[in-house]
Amino acid sequence: MSDTTTRTLIANTCRIDVHPFDFKSVEQELYLLDDGSYLVEIRRQQGRSHIDLDEAQATEWLRDQIFSYPNIDTAYQGSLR
């Protein structure tokens, strides 16, 4: 992904794992890129990473997130089913 690529936020999840004397948060955001591909950005305390997806993979990711996290924030009203 180049610095000039336009990204549209589709969904955001945040999970906090609580352990004795510690907690770890993982935030994931699904983006639609201007070239029609998708990207999941993952943020943890250790840093950021990303995964490039096609539409089928993005659809599966979104279904998994909705099933796992019913309070998912979605901002996309397009054709992703």
pLDDT in tens, 28-71: 888 999 998 899 888 877 778 888 988 888 888 888 877 776 55
Q: What is the pLDDT of residue 81?
A: 44
pLDDT tops 60 at residue 27: yes
pLDDT tops 50 at residue 78: no
> pTM for this one?
0.63
Distance, CA of 33 to CA of 8 (rounded, Å): 6
35: in domain: yes
- How many structural domains compose the chain? 1
What are the angstrom distances between the C-alpha of 10 and each of 5, 7, 26, 31, 76? 15, 9, 17, 5, 5
1: in domain: no
2: in domain: no
**pLDDT for 11-24, tens place per residue?**
887 777 666 666 67
81: in domain: no
3-state secondary structure of 51: strand
